[in-house]
Amino acid sequence: MSTPSELPASMKAWQFKSVQSGLEKSMYINDKAPLPKPKKGQHLVKVIAAALNPVDYKTAEIPLMTRLAAGLPATPGIDFVGQIVTPAAGSSLTPGQLVFGAAGASLIAGGSLAEYAVAKTEFVAPVPEGVDPKSVAGLGIAGVTAYQCVVPYYKNFAPGSRIFINGGSGGTGMFGIQFAKAAGYHVTTSCSTGNVELCKSLGADEVIDYKKQDVVATLRASNEKFVHVVDNVGHDPKLYFECHHYTEPKAKFVAVGGEPSLQAAKNFLAQIALPGFLGGGRRGFRFFAPEHKSEDLEQIGRWIQEGKVKPQTDSTFAFNDAPKAYEKLKTGRARGKVIVEIAKQT
């Protein structure tokens, strides 16, 4: 691996200047992209593989968002696994060490779809010994989101307490099921018919097939009450407005999924502002925003090392095929993470 004194003057990176036709149709390879310069508290890393997330294109495709928040041209991608080139000052990490997490200082264009990237110290953790590096490439966003939506709440409840995860077959949902089981929850989740067995294989105790059952009606008909709800889908506001029928009084409702649309914005405002006596929700509501902590990534890494959590990879693409990887992600049918290989481990 290159040492700081041997670093090239430029690198290959996927970039875009506009997303009017969609991110996957707007990307191009820049063979002479400048290497990112780490700021205080950032590592310079050589990227081995990047994992794609819906936030990569959903946020970038909001008009003016990328220009205002990240600048152009921009390099997409956040999740990555790679090797430390130059560790941040004061870090215990060393050159050549394998790390995984989230690249960049921006959740709009993190820069992991490039040969080199920067990452904040709290956004990365060492790859545990014996763990396949590519298996942890997709933990920076989906992994941290699933972990923080589930695990911190469990300390308030008895072992075996029930959690409902809406959308168990997506990237965040698949991690959420496994983290919830590792933490000690009884897990009920929802998915389509084709993913029922997948969710069961990940540890779900009960699965609601939304193709055959009305999710809210099924939850209301349950004899058990849930202590926590995570909504990874965000399409049905009734899930929150009626959650007092199927949850304990102290239950929390955490919203993760949703589309950047006017209707979604209206639903969100109603969820946080409409009082219960006017038809609003009667449980605590939180729209999730990740707080990156290296210790959370380290715990996830330990669970993977111990075999309690098994990352799911849907497909792997070569660096030159990154647009095809986004096309696959946009179908909504990926069962696990979509990975783009950048370089070999050295």
Q: What is the pLDDT of residue 269?
A: 60
Backbone φ and ψ of 51, nearest 5°: -115, 140
SS (H, E, C) 292-312: CCHHHHHHHHHHHHHCCCCCC
pLDDT digits (tens, 9 = 90+) for 271-294: 555 555 555 576 888 888 888 899
Mean pLDDT, to the nearest integer, of 199-208?
98
Q: Does position 190 have pLDDT exceeding 70, yes or no?
A: yes
pLDDT digits (tens, 9 = 90+) for 212-260: 999 999 999 988 899 999 999 988 889 999 999 999 999 999 999 666 5
Lowest-pLDDT range, 82-96, 121-135, 150-164, 277-291? 277-291
pTM of the model: 0.90
- The whole-angstrom separation of Cα 220 and Cα 198 is 24
Q: Does position 317 have pLDDT exceeding 90, yes or no?
A: yes
- The sign of the torsion formed by the CA atoms of 72, 77, 83, 88 equals positive
Lowest-pLDDT range, 111-115, 121-125, 190-194, 341-345? 341-345
Q: Which residue has 């049918």 as its token pair?
A: 333
- The whole-angstrom separation of Cα 115 and Cα 319 is 10
Q: What is the pLDDT of residue 290?
A: 80
Query: Using a CB cutoff of 8 Å and minimum separation of 24, what contacts does 267-271 make?
Result: 267/234, 267/237, 270/237, 271/237, 271/240, 271/241
Q: What is the pLDDT of residue 180?
A: 96
Band of pLDDT at residue 346, cut at 50, 70 and 90: low
Q: What is the pLDDT of residue 77?
A: 96
- The whole-angstrom separation of Cα 118 and Cα 291 is 18
Q: Does position 265 have pLDDT exceeding 70, yes or no?
A: no
Q: Does position 6 have pLDDT exceeding 90, yes or no?
A: no
* Structure tokens belonging to residue 79: 């999740």
Q: What is the pLDDT of residue 65?
A: 66
Percent above pLDDT 90 for the chain: 72
Q: Does position 261 have pLDDT exceeding 90, yes or no?
A: no
Q: Does position 33 have pLDDT exceeding 90, yes or no?
A: yes
Q: What type of residue is 161?
A: S
Q: What is the pLDDT of residue 5?
A: 61
- Of the CA atoms within 13 Å of residue 158, those in its CB half-sphere come to 2
> H-type helices in 110-170, by residue range?
144-154
- The whole-angstrom separation of Cα 142 and Cα 133 is 16
- The whole-angstrom separation of Cα 228 and Cα 38 is 39
Q: What is the pLDDT of residue 99?
A: 98
- The whole-angstrom separation of Cα 140 and Cα 80 is 7
- The whole-angstrom separation of Cα 327 and Cα 217 is 34
Q: What is the pLDDT of residue 156?
A: 78
Lowest-pLDDT range, 106-110, 123-127, 275-279, 329-333? 275-279
- The whole-angstrom separation of Cα 304 and Cα 175 is 11
What's the Rg (C-alpha) of the chain?
20
Mean pLDDT, to the nearest integer, of 49-67?
84
Mean pLDDT, to the nearest integer, of 323-339?
94
Band of pLDDT at residue 138, cut at 50, 70 and 90: very high
Please name the helix (run of DSSP H) or strand (run of DSSP E) that holds residue 86, with its range, or none.
strand 79-86
Domains and CATH numbers, the chain: 4-138+312-341 (3.90.180.10), 142-287 (3.40.50.720)
Bigger pLDDT: 248 or 261?
248
Q: What is the pLDDT of residue 1?
A: 63
SS (H, E, C) 188-240: EEEECHHHHHHHHHCCCCEEEECCCCCHHHHHHHCCCCEEEEEECCCCCCHHH
Lowest-pLDDT range, 70-79, 108-117, 317-326? 70-79
